[in-house]
Chain A
Amino acid sequence: MEKGKKPVSKDIKHEYPIRGMDFVAAGEASSNIKHTLQLIGFAPAIIRRAAIAAYESEMNIVIHATEGTLKTTISPERIEIIAADTGPGIPDIELAMREGYSTAPDHIREMGFGAGMGLPNIKNVSDEFTLDSTFGKGTTLKVVIYNQ
């Protein structure tokens, strides 16, 4: 880098607000994230994993929470997605991670959501997976996918 020039940021950050039960806009954030990753030119397999993680965490906020945000930091080395919400929180994380376990209400399940695969799917596609939740307050999920 030339002296005196402002260093150019290597990563790119985005923040998408998500509203609970807003099925009109549901999926928009993750499809924007996917488009950005395609423009940058990550490998198809990496994009697929990141798109699944983004979509499932976006849908978790839509289905379970009051409101939240999806924050992404994309760098040549890694894709980080943080989904933070205010909502009911997860009473038993271990139970929530079990495939097929769901607390989604019946009317949501009838629509084909809440099959209890969201969190396990996200974990399957991610290299780092950190789930923090306070019962009655909200949940923060951090996912990292390495570009390798």
Chain B
Amino acid sequence: MTKKHFLCDIVDAEKCKGCTNCVKNCPTEAIRVRKGTAVTIEERCINCGNCIRTCPYHAKIAITDPLDLRRLREFKYTIALCSPVLYSQFHRVMPPGKILNAVKALGFDDVFQESIGADAYTIAARNLLKSRRLKKPVISSACPAVVKLIQVRFPSLIDNIAPLLSPMEIAAKLAREQVSKNKGIPEDQIGIFMITPCTAKVTSIKRPVGIDKSPIDGAIAMIHLYGNILNALHTVPENSSLAKASGTAIGWARSGGETIAVNAPNYLVADGLNNVISIFEEAEMGHFKDVDYIECLVCQGGCVGGPLTVENPFLARIMTRNLIKKLPDSLPQHTIEKIENRYREGYFHHSKTIEAQTVLPLNQDITKAIQMVSRAEEILRTLPGLDCCSCGSPSCRALAEDIAQGYASVTDCIFKLLENIQDSAQDMLNLLKKEKRIRNTGKGSKK
């Protein structure tokens, strides 16, 4: 059986101090500290990468392809697929053609822009909104962590997700097809590697949603490759033929960029996981009937705030804005027409439906689950309510739920433990006093 879930990170047990920083910062309460080490409850994890970002000991490691790029040798022809976030990671605005050429120089046969996928997605989404067959509001499928969040926590919104491949998947599909056609290389001998600022993308390559197999073969964390790119930038010239995507598509690197591109009449943009969650809570209540399009990105500021980036996301945002001012707004007309034809063929659509992955229930048997909830509530009333996290669960409520399920015990709470110790100390004291009394009365009777 293949596992339904896949974690984008692992814990380095030697580095992990069990400090609970990741536990407290996990938006889906997926992490616990047990026996001094952080453990992730896989089915709750949406791969947002917050734990990687917040771990002060760098014990959380993103699982990406190794830096020595040894997997490139498995393929006859290799393509680096570059996130538009990459262009914003250097202290000055540089033409994308130069940065792309630097990536290519690291050992790839070719380099493609993920933003070509965003250009195609823009056209597909516009057509989708015109069709009026979709449930409103349409929620963009571009952020894989958002899609996973909906599967895990908001399954009633699954029908609102745009049934489109993500820009990354579209770009990879187009790149593979184009290279195969132009160079006569069989599609399965082409290896496509995503240079990613995002952990959720790593997971969506291993466990794609809406398709059976991802068109991408591997992922390399942008932050891991950064030094190499920086070095290569000194030597390589610009190659403008590598940079074909429009400025508008590159603008997707920051939140709001997608909305500007899609240009829906009534839209909503939210970034940062907690904001996204509150938007979905409202959407579930049916509060957004007038909204056509929702762009939600779990990272603050959008993809420029990704956990595998180098540059400060606010600076990266400005860099993105300054760069796209210098680029054309849209693709040439004949390319747009080609993309529209492709859209009508269903080239950009999901090939299967997205499934719910609800994980919250305490028990499969509803009667037992109700008893467990009652029990958890009883336990919660006895806990101090400080949400101090010392027990390894993110809050007193979460600990109560963990205890009810048998995953933790009341004495994991240091305050309850202290109470217990004090109680037993008192008991011992009472016993000693009693014994002394008996001894004393024994002595007395001898007299």
- A: residues with CB less than 8 A from B are 8-12, 31, 36, 38-42, 44-45, 47-48, 51-52, 55, 74-76, 121, 147
Contacts and interface: CB of A to CB of B under 8 A. Distances in A.
Given A11-B370, A36-B373, A41 B285 contact: no
A38 B360 contact: yes
B441 interface: no
B364 interface: yes
A39 B364 CA distance: 10
Determine the main DSSP class of B at the interface with A.
helix
B374 A39 contact: no
A9 B374 contact: yes
B284 A38 contact: no
A76 B155 contact: no
Given A12-B373, A75-B370, A41 B156 contact: no
Nearest to B366: A76
Kindly state the interface size class of chain B when it binds its partner: 20 to 34
12 contacts: A12-B374, A39-B361, A39-B372, A40-B366, A41-B360, A41-B364, A41-B366, A42-B366, A44-B155, A44-B356, A74-B370, A75-B370
A40 B361 contact: yes
B331 interface: no
Nearest to B369: A40
A52 B370 contact: no
B281 A31 contact: yes
A40 B156 contact: no
Determine the main DSSP class of A at the interface with B.
helix
Interface of B: 155-156, 281, 284-286, 356, 358, 360-364, 366-367, 369-374, 376-377, 401
A57 to B, nearest CB: 13
Contact of B285 (A10, A12, A40, A52): A52
A12 B358 contact: no
A5 to B, nearest CB: 13
A42 B361 CA distance: 8
A40 B362 contact: yes
A51 B356 CA distance: 19
Nearest to A9: B374
Contact of A41 (B281, B358, B401): B358
Contacts of B285: 51-52, 55
Contact of B361 (A41, A75, A147): A41
A44 B371 CA distance: 20
Given A39-B373, A44-B155, A10 B367 contact: yes
Nearest to B397: A35
A41 B155 CA distance: 12
Given A31-B281, A38-B360, 10 more contacts: A11-B370, A39-B362, A39-B376, A40-B362, A41-B363, A41-B369, A42-B366, A44-B156, A51-B285, A76-B370
A43 B70 CA distance: 46
A31 B280 CA distance: 13
Give 5 closest A-B pairs by Cβ, nearest first.
A41-B361, A44-B155, A38-B360, A76-B366, A44-B156
